[in-house]
């Protein structure tokens, strides 16, 4: 059967993950540091609220932008936690996780041939979403020696007269890199001069360890150029709930909401009730989770050091991104052999763009014994590689 | 004091946390953290380190009971002498002076129900000042000291590799 798929699909980067998943699926006793989600249960008050509304039969469509009460709580939360100011009625809308936000923004803003600047190594969904909307993806290099921060000189190299959107993701997946106000300021002139819109994915905003998270939307000169994208997944351990949000100037949100209404009608009503409680009542859960991640980050960093894998110290998110260039293997081959020899699953850096080649992503969103076991297996594998080089 | 509180909360969660982890929590050196711990121990703010064990999963099968104890207060000493008489028994795990119908709540653990019953009838009830006891045996422990001992019906499994 010839299904005559869209030509655009041919331009999508292939998934390196599916091959590794099938490899691991065929084995027993597999240990994974491959998952990009917190390992905590969603805090009980959030679950209880949604259960209550489910039992109550509150299962109808809800407003396309999300309940106003939820949008108010999101605006309050962003103000309370990060000092951001958004009008909940006109500048905030809910999405189906952060992922729909990414898709929505590109759909609404891209014309064929427009260029989207995507820092790499970077979260793997940006590129396919941009390509599907007809954009040309232009990578912007995040260098290990710069702590995987975005530097103005790298941005300058990537900008052309077709550049339209700059994607940012700090704290970032997969590097754990963070940006401070001082790091952002050198980018501001470039953003204004080249009339760029900024999509700032701040889904890991609460997981910045040594410096308070700073949103680029706080810089007044570019506030209305910034589309803040975030969600509940990482902060409140709500990945499976699929609840995110966009904050931006009214005109942008009006158009995003118009398109979203046609795509999904609304975000799941039941999850929104839980979301209200998360934003309103659950700040106290955040330091507990953050402290737990920080402990595990230090555990895995010290393990990697003992193994002899160089690794830039990540200041945010829950990933480490060690450098494996010394072995002369592609990251996909490294990960495939690691699964076959030691039944340990890591994510190859190449999944995060060409600039991720030579690295692997290890999530430390796992229990201490799981991390210790993974480090043991990784250490054995690295010794074997060194002996058999 | 704020650092001490953070340290206490961290060690309350995990009595086996190593000094490096604790030092990270309060952003101090390991040496400074150790000296704060020593100080907290000498002030008896940290009174001990214990482990939460789900005995139901072992071959041991101890019996726990909460015992409400009614007692008469004594001139000048209130309930303190009676309390000492109660908590001095090694079987007593915890003792609280409470509001409500009874004066004390005693948590005891014994090897068998017979042993608990003997403790109540032979040691606790005869204490001078104790006027009544009401024993409630624990049938199952769900959560102890903030720790859920066993999640029921939890089947969720995370994916092996995700973006």
Residue percentage of chain A with pLDDT more than 90: 95
pLDDT at B96 > cutoff 80: yes
Q: Are A247 and A224 in contact (CB under 8 A)?
A: no
Strand A319-320 with A360-363, pairing: antiparallel
* CA neighbor of A322 nearest in space, from A386, A372, A378: A378
Q: How far is B22 from chain A (nearest CA, A)?
A: 9
Nearest CB partner across the interface for A295, out of B24, B160, B161: B24
Q: How far is B3 from chain A (nearest CA, A)?
A: 14
State the pLDDT at residue A52: 97
In this structure, how many other beta carbons lie within 10 angstroms of the beta carbon of residue A93?
A: 26
For the stretch A174-212, pLDDT in tens is: 999 999 999 999 999 999 999 999 999 999 999 999 999
Query: Is A30 in Cβ contact with B163 (below 8 Å)?
Result: no
Nearest CB partner across the interface for A32, out of B20, B25, B161: B161
- A283 three-state secondary structure: coil
Query: Is A294 in Cβ contact with B162 (below 8 Å)?
Result: no
Q: CB of A347 within 8 Å of any CB in chain B?
A: yes
Mean pLDDT for all residues in chain B: 90
C-alpha span between A302 and A311 (Å, rounded)? 10
ipTM of the complex in this document: 0.84
Rg for chain B, CA atoms, rounded: 21
pLDDT at B147 > cutoff 90: no
Q: Are B131 and B137 in contact (CB under 8 A)?
A: no
- The larger pLDDT score, comparing residue B148 to residue A61, is at A61
Nearest CB partner across the interface for B163, out of A24, A39, A123: A123
- B64 three-state secondary structure: strand
pLDDT at B155 > cutoff 80: no
Q: Kindly indicate the confidence band of residue B57, based on its pLDDT and cuts at 50, 70 and 90.
A: confident
Nearest CB partner across the interface for B162, out of A25, A36, A294: A36
Domains of chain A: 7-42+285-383 (3.90.1150.10), 44-281 (3.40.640.10)
C-alpha span between A74 and A273 (Å, rounded)? 12
- CA nearest to A18 within chain B: B161
Query: Is B163 in Cβ contact with A35 (below 8 Å)?
Result: no
CATH T-level fold of B2-42: Arc Repressor Mutant, subunit A (1.10.10)
SS3 content of chain B, % helix, strand, coil (to 5): 35, 25, 45
Tokens representing A84? 């951001």
Q: CB of A295 within 8 Å of any CB in chain B?
A: yes
Burial grade of A130 (CB within 10 A; 0-12, 13-18, 19 or more)? buried
Vertex A289: Cα angle to A274 and A229 (nearest 5): 55
Mean pLDDT for all residues in chain A: 96
Interface of A with B in 16-35 (CB under 8 A): 17, 20-21, 24-25, 30, 32, 34-35
What residue segments make up the domains of chain B, in order of their start?
Answer: 2-42, 55-141
C-alpha span between A313 and A149 (Å, rounded)? 12
C-alpha span between B145 and B107 (Å, rounded)? 13
Instruction: Return the CATH number of the domain spanning residue range B55-141.
Output: 3.30.70.920
Q: CB of A311 within 8 Å of any CB in chain B?
A: no
Burial grade of B55 (CB within 10 A; 0-12, 13-18, 19 or more)? middle
- CA nearest to A352 within chain B: B163
Interface of B with A in 7-36 (CB under 8 A): 10, 20-21, 24-25
For the stretch A321-358, pLDDT in tens is: 999 999 999 999 999 999 999 999 999 999 999 999 99
Query: Is B161 in Cβ contact with A347 (below 8 Å)?
Result: yes
Question: How far is the CA of A319 from the CAs of A204, A314, B84, in angstroms?
Answer: 11, 7, 53
pLDDT at B153 > cutoff 70: no
C-alpha span between A368 and A373 (Å, rounded)? 9
Sort out which chain B residues have CB atoms less than 8 A from A37's CB and list them: 158, 162
Q: How far is A352 from chain B (nearest CA, A)?
A: 9
Task: Mutation target for A interface from B16, B30, B143, B161: give the one with most A CBs within 10 A.
Answer: B161
Sort out which chain A residues have CB atoms less than 8 A from B10's CB and list them: 291
Task: Mutation target for B interface from A27, A203, A295: give the one with most B CBs within 10 A.
Answer: A295
Q: CB of A123 within 8 Å of any CB in chain B?
A: yes
- The larger pLDDT score, comparing residue B39 to residue B145, is at B39
Q: Is the pTM of this model over 0.95?
A: no
For the stretch A224-237, pLDDT in tens is: 999 999 999 999 99
Strand A197-201 with A226-231, pairing: parallel
Q: CB of A258 within 8 Å of any CB in chain B?
A: no
Q: CB of A36 within 8 Å of any CB in chain B?
A: yes
- How far does chain A reach from its first CA to its final CA, in angstroms? 47
Tokens representing A320? 């480490």
Tokens representing A369? 């014994």
Sort out which chain B residues have CB atoms less than 8 A from A210's CB and list them: none
């Amino acid at each position: 059967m010839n299904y005559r798929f869209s030509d655009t699909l041919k331009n999508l980067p292939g998934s390196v993950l599916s091959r590794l998943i099938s490899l691991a699926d065929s084995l027993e006793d597999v240990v994974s540091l491959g998952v990009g989600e917190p390992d905590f249960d969603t805090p009980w008050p959030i679950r209880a609220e949604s259960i209550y509304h489910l039992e109550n039969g509150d299962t109808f469509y809800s407003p396309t932008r999300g309940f106003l009460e939820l949008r108010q709580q999101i605006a309050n939360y962003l103000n309370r936690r990060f000092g951001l100011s958004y009008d909940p009625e006109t500048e905030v809308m809910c999405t189906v996780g952060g992922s729909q936000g990414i898709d929505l923004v590109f759909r609404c803003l891209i014309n064929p041939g427009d260029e989207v600047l995507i820092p790499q190594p970077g979260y793997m969904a940006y590129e396919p979403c941009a390509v599907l909307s007809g954009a040309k993806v232009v990578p912007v290099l995040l260098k290990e020696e710069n702590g995987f921060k975005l530097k103005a000189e790298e941005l300058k190299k990537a900008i052309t007269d077709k550049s339209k959107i700059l994607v940012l993701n700090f704290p970032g997946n997969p590097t754990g890199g963070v940006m401070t106000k001082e790091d952002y300021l050198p980018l501001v002139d470039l953003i204004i001069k080249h009339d760029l819109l900024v999509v700032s994915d701040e889904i890991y905003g609460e997981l910045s360890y040594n410096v308070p998270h700073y949103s680029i939307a706080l810089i007044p000169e570019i506030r209305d150029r910034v589309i803040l994208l975030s969600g509940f997944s990482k902060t409140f351990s709500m990945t499976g709930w699929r609840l995110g949000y966009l904050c931006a100037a009214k005109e942008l949100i009006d158009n995003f909401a118009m398109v979203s209404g046609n795509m999904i009608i609304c975000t799941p009503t039941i999850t929104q009730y839980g979301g209200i409680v998360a934003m309103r009542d659950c700040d106290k859960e955040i330091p507990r989770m953050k402290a737990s991640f920080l402990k595990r980050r230090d555990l895995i960093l010290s393990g990697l050091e003992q193994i002899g894998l160089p690794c830039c110290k990540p200041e945010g998110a829950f990933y480490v991104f060690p450098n494996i260039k010394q072995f002369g293997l592609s990251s996909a081959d490294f990960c495939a052999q690691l699964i076959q020899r030691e039944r340990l699953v890591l994510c190859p850096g190449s999944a995060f763009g060409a600039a991720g080649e030579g690295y692997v992503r290890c999530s430390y969103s796992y229990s201490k014994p799981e991390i210790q076991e993974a480090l043991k297996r990784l250490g054995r594998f690295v010794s074997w590689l060194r002996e058999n080089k | 004091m704020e650092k001490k509180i953070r340290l206490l909360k961290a060690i309350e969660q995990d009595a086996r946390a190593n000094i490096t982890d604790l030092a990270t929590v309060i952003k101090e050196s390991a040496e400074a953290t150790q000296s704060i711990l020593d100080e907290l121990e000498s002030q008896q703010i940290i009174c001990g380190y214990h482990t939460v064990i789900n005995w139901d999963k072992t071959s041991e099968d101890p019996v726990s009971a909460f015992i409400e104890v009614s007692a008469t207060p004594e001139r000048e000493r209130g309930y303190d002498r009676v309390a000492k008489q109660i908590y001095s028994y090694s079987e007593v795990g915890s003792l609280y002076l409470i509001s409500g119908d009874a004066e004390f709540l005693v948590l005891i653990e014994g090897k068998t129900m017979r042993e608990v019953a003997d403790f109540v009838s032979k040691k606790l009830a005869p204490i001078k000042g104790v006027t009544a006891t009401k024993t409630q045996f624990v049938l199952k422990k769900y959560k102890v000291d903030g720790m859920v001992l066993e999640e029921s019906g939890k089947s969720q499994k995370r994916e092996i590799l995700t973006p």
